[in-house]
Amino acid sequence: MDNELSRTVDALPGLVWTAFPDGRIEFVNRRWCEYTGLSVDQAAGEGWHTAFHPDDQPALLEAWRSVVASGEQGEAEARMRRFDGTYRWFACRASPMTDAAGEVVKWCGINSDIEDRKQTEAALRAQEQRFGLIVDSLPTRVVLFAPDGDVLHANRHTLEFAGVTLDELRAWKTNGLTHPDDRDAVLARFRASISSGEPYDAESRHRSADGVYRWFRVQGFPLRDNEKRIALWYFLQTDIDDRKRAEALLAGENRLLEMIATGQALPTVLDALCRLVEEIASDCVCRVTFQDTHGTACRHLGSPGLPKRFLPRSGARAASYDSGPLGMAVSLKAQVIVPDVASDVRWTRAWRERSLAHGLRSCWATPILSRTNEVLGTFTLFRSDAGNPTPLQHDLIAQLTHIASIAIERAHSIAARQEADERLRQSAALMAKVEQLSSSGSFCWCPQTGSITWSEQMYGIFGIEPGVPITLDMIAARFHPGDRLILDEMIERAQAGKDLEFEHRLLMPDGSVRHIHIQAHPTRDTQGGLDYIGAAQDMTERRESEGALLALRAELAHLSRVNSQGALTASIAHEINQPLAGIVTNASTGLRMLSAQPPNVEGALETVRRTIRDGHRASEAMARLRALFSKKAATTDAVDLVEATHEVIELLQCEVRNKRIVLHVKAADNLPPVTGDRIQLQQVVLSLLLNAIEAMSGVDERPRQMRVSIERDDGDCVRLAVTDSGVGIDPQHAAKLFDPFFTTTREDMGIGLSVSRRIIESHGGRLWASSNADPGATFTFSIPLATDRAAAAGQTVPTGRPARADAEQTERNP
């Protein structure tokens, strides 16, 4: 190296060196040699390795090789040995010298002493460790935040309480560590403090590792540097859950006492008491029962947190020693603790299984005692985990049991004062109902006690001597046997507190039947008990009027059948004339045979047998006609719809042939019977067939075809369809087809389809019409199958002609 340049390099305040492009040391300045005690020759090549701490050499050499390979400047830190054996930290920096082509021709480097900086960093790390130990040792929760609000550090108490890592804590804004009800307010106030630099102070709930939220007072303060800039925020979280519970209990007690003083209903007070308990002891659910004035039964009054199915179905239950913890607490007048329901054998297995099935593992029942040591009710806490009550829970039970006794005793005194007013109110309500309704009576009924009060008119309606104490059994004795299920439904709705409105029949001692309409509305007495005030109206006259209306409708249906006789004249004549002609012919033949010499007795006997056969045929035809056009009352039987349909078709055979109609009948195999009146159903089939014949009377340009199909419908029904190739359905008349007295011809009265629909609907079915894709229309009805009860009553279905699903009966004009 040039002497002048060498002196310049030696004068630089640092350890300067150069290297060949491959990384071998070419030159070190005098300061480098003086510091390390090595000569230039000793440092040349790879000799400089010995000037660095053995522990740092691998990383330093790896970094140097990477720099040489990259051809770019680089830096590494390592400890260099001074000539006296002392190691100090140096920052080794290297930069390439390149030629015009960009190729590295030499490396220049300098090593700068950074020992003081390293010691300062070590001191800072040690200070941070000491600070961390101090923060972790503080008996409170501490969280450090960066000036922008990001979490920097949290002490051990904070992480252990929440059961999270530091990284999980950094997501505190969204991971549920803050109670959902407090989250928005906490975030708004936190951001305001971070933005303004003002201290943070708020109370909020935060989740512990076991998932329970506890109240904390959170205080945040900024830590500023010498230039008053915020270096970090430190937040302190002080557990105030016990204080908040005490405040909530005190406030809740004041609310309860105020409710009692203002005379609010006992169920409302005790429900609020249960909710207060469940708010303070969040791992418990509360139940309060009220002992009746006779001390024989407990009525459930409050338990908002208990499963509804766990509670008794009826309003009051007998309180006995072995009925459960509540009954034992009442009997002993002492607290009963059940730490583990599963292992406690003092009560029945059914009670244990019912409790465990609803997640109730422990139970603590306390009697509510009056000032005279009489049992007023029970105060019970349930938990989903096994265990005994904590001191907090013991205090809670003692305080709120006392308030419950105050509420119940006051309710007793209010009830006693209001009893006379209540009787007067009931009398006024009864009178109002009587005045409102004609031919009616009024009543008051308490389902829980069974008490029933009647007006005089009610006694008259039921035919019971006035003044006789009324019971449900007496009322049930008057119910018509066919309406006993209505009484059961009425009692069930009353137990549920629902409105009552029913119509039923009474069977009087003289055998007469009365129709009654009952309507009642539930009310609550001062103790929360359920009362019904209602009225009953005698509907017998109205039902008789409705019966007369039904008779008129039946007369109209009969008129519709009679009106069909004109269309059946030819068929009727054919059905009668054919067997009569046979009788005459057979009689003439018999005379000739007997007049012969010798008389043909055997042949005469055969003609007599044929005469008898034809007489029976005529008789059967008349019987079918009389049945179809009879006027007897409708009955409900199991009916073979296929057989009934064939009987109607036989009556129309002559009409079908005369009208040149091709008739196809198709019925599914083994169709079950339907429920209904055979004559009425045949009337519907007859009406549909005549309607189809009439629709095709003016059709000449295409074959006149009529199809009758009988098959199983969706569900428990049978469907019969009559399809014709007639004029179809006029869209303008489609909505009126089934209206009474609507007709499109002068000859028809317009009652056939209307009566048919009414008949089918009275059978629980439906009748409808639709246009075919081809010319014509289809009229269809569907009715339910016969019930098992109808079949069991002996209403058997006669066996008619078999109907095959894969074959058709076809009637053609000969």
pLDDT value of position 551 = 57
pLDDT level of residue 811 (50, 70, 90 thresholds): very low
Q: Which two tokens stand for residue 170?
A: 């950094």
pLDDT level of residue 570 (50, 70, 90 thresholds): very low
On the CB side of 535, CA atoms within 13 Å amount to: 17
Highest mean pLDDT out of 284-288, 356-360, 662-666: 662-666
Averaged pLDDT, 759-782: 90
Averaged pLDDT, 88-106: 91
Q: Which residues contact 323 (CB under 8 A, 6 or more apart)?
A: 317, 347, 351
Bridge partners (DSSP) of residue 218 are: 202, 237
pLDDT level of residue 572 (50, 70, 90 thresholds): low
Specify the CATH class of 634-811 in words.
alpha beta
pLDDT value of position 437 = 57
Q: Would you say 644 and 673 are in contact if contact means Cβ atoms under 8 Å apart?
A: no
pLDDT value of position 219 = 94
Q: Where is pLDDT greater, at 674 or 548?
A: 674
CA distance 202 to 217: 6
pLDDT level of residue 752 (50, 70, 90 thresholds): low
pLDDT value of position 276 = 87
Q: Would you say 795 and 600 are in contact if contact means Cβ atoms under 8 Å apart?
A: no
- pLDDT tens for 170-203 read 999 888 899 999 999 999 999 999 999 999 999 9
The torsion angles phi and psi of 149, rounded to 5 degrees, stand at 100, 0
Highest mean pLDDT out of 61-70, 441-450, 609-618: 61-70
* The CATH number fitting domain 3-113, selected from 3.30.1490.100, 3.10.180.10, 2.40.128.130, 3.30.450.20: 3.30.450.20
pLDDT value of position 796 = 38
Q: Check whether 805 has a pLDDT greater than 50.
A: no
pLDDT level of residue 484 (50, 70, 90 thresholds): confident
Averaged pLDDT, 332-339: 90
Q: Check whether 315 has a pLDDT greater than 80.
A: no
- pLDDT tens for 605-641 read 777 776 776 676 666 556 545 555 554 555 778 899 9
Instruction: Lowest mean pLDDT of 192-201, 323-332, 567-576, name the range.
Output: 567-576
- pLDDT tens for 122-145 read 876 776 666 666 667 677 889 999
pLDDT level of residue 92 (50, 70, 90 thresholds): very high
CA distance 193 to 148: 11
Question: Helix, strand, coil proportions of the chain in percent (round to 5)?
Answer: 45, 25, 30
The CATH number given to 249-415 is 3.30.450.40
The share of the chain scoring above pLDDT 90, in percent, equals 22
Q: Check whether 463 has a pLDDT greater than 60.
A: yes
Highest mean pLDDT out of 36-45, 309-318, 581-590: 36-45
pLDDT value of position 318 = 54
Q: Check whether 788 has a pLDDT greater than 50.
A: yes
pLDDT value of position 136 = 73
Q: Which residues contact 407 (CB under 8 A, 6 or more apart)?
A: 256, 259, 260, 266, 269, 270, 273
Q: Would you say 108 and 94 are in contact if contact means Cβ atoms under 8 Å apart?
A: yes
CA distance 346 to 355: 14
pLDDT value of position 302 = 61
Instruction: Lowest mean pLDDT of 7-11, 413-417, 574-578, 651-655, name the range.
Output: 574-578
* The CATH number fitting domain 437-538, selected from 3.30.450.20, 3.90.550.10, 3.10.180.10, 3.40.30.10: 3.30.450.20
Averaged pLDDT, 223-231: 88
Q: Check whether 346 has a pLDDT greater than 80.
A: yes
CATH 3.30.450.20 fits 128-239, yes or no: yes
The share of the chain scoring above pLDDT 70, in percent, equals 79
On the CB side of 567, CA atoms within 13 Å amount to: 25
End-to-end Cα separation, the chain, in angstroms: 139
- The alpha carbon of 423 is separated from its chain's Cα centroid by a whole number of angstroms, namely 42
pLDDT value of position 602 = 76
Residue type, 472: L
Q: Which two tokens stand for residue 146?
A: 């960066």
pLDDT value of position 191 = 94
Q: Check whether 553 has a pLDDT greater than 60.
A: no
Long-range CB contacts (within 8 A, 24+) of 394-397: 396/249, 396/277, 396/280, 396/281, 397/335, 397/364, 397/366
SS3 of 766-800? EEEEEECCCCCEEEEEEEEECCHHHHHCCCCCCCC
Q: Which residues contact 146 (CB under 8 A, 6 or more apart)?
A: 152, 232, 233
- pLDDT tens for 242-283 read 888 888 888 888 988 888 888 888 888 888 888 888 888 878
Q: Which two tokens stand for residue 208?
A: 């512990």
Q: Which two tokens stand for residue 630?
A: 């009879």
Q: Where is pLDDT greater, at 382 or 631?
A: 382
pLDDT value of position 554 = 53
Closest CA to 691 of 710, 711, 706: 706
Q: Check whether 370 has a pLDDT greater than 80.
A: yes
